[in-house]
Copies of this chain bind each other. A is one copy, B any other.
């Protein structure tokens, strides 16, 4: 972060504030891009009535049938409480079912229904289109650079988020790789 003024002298006066304090902040730019990403996803996928979060949950349940809610939250770095509502909605749409785990009465295991597998299969091209659209304005080389830096940054900052990604830990017992 560059200093907010070019004044070389310490001063007791309030620092003059400009909109740069917002517009050039990485946090603001990430918020904008997330906003844009969600808007494009919803637009491309409106025929399917699935949100980005619901899509990520469906993908994960598809690749890890029988996963429980807590592990699912760790695998996609969602908040556990938030995920409860997401699961309810997917269940209401009959895209997933919950079965009690026989060996642990606390746990409910998650499985795709036929309708869930079908919608997941059908929505894929639209998801890809949305993902492509948000990167489209950049030159291909710049897209690669951005994606690479973003992947690094998310990985290196993993512990900073309240809900760190714990893919490996969470999936140990399932004997599957994501």
Binding site for B on A (CB under 8 A): 1, 4, 14-15, 17-19, 21-41, 52, 56, 59-60, 62-63, 75-77, 117, 120-121, 124, 127-128, 130-135, 137-138, 142, 145-147, 149-154, 156-157, 160-163, 165, 167, 178
- A137-B150 in contact given A27-B130, A37-B30 (Cβ < 8 Å): no
Determine which of B27, B33, B59 lies in contact with A22 in the assembled complex, contact meaning CB atoms within 8 Å.
Answer: B59
- A33-B153 in contact given A21-B124, A27-B52, A63-B17 (Cβ < 8 Å): yes
- A37-B32 in contact given A14-B121, A135-B153, A137-B152 (Cβ < 8 Å): no
For the complex, what is the distance from the CA of A151 to the CA of B19, rounded to whole Å?
Answer: 14
For the complex, what is the distance from the CA of A147 to the CA of B145, rounded to whole Å?
Answer: 12
The reply to whether B154 and A150 contact each other, CB–CB distance below 8 Å, is: no
The 5 residue pairs across chains A and B that have the minimum distance between CB atoms: A137-B156, A19-B178, A27-B37, A34-B34, A146-B149
A147 contacts across to B, CB distance below 8 A: 24, 26, 29
The reply to whether B131 and A25 contact each other, CB–CB distance below 8 Å, is: yes
Determine which of B35, B120, B178 lies in contact with A18 in the assembled complex, contact meaning CB atoms within 8 Å.
Answer: B178
The reply to whether B161 and A17 contact each other, CB–CB distance below 8 Å, is: no
For the complex, what is the distance from the CA of A63 to the CA of B17, rounded to whole Å?
Answer: 7
The reply to whether A161 and B124 contact each other, CB–CB distance below 8 Å, is: no
The reply to whether A152 and B138 contact each other, CB–CB distance below 8 Å, is: yes
The reply to whether A1 and B33 contact each other, CB–CB distance below 8 Å, is: no
Task: Look across to chain B and name the residue whose beta carbon is closest to the beta carbon of A178.
Answer: B19
Determine which of B4, B75, B135, B150 lies in contact with A124 in the assembled complex, contact meaning CB atoms within 8 Å.
Answer: B4
- A160-B39 in contact given A131-B27, A135-B153 (Cβ < 8 Å): yes
Counting chain B CB atoms within 10 Å of each CB, the highest count among A15, A39, A127, A146 belongs to: A146
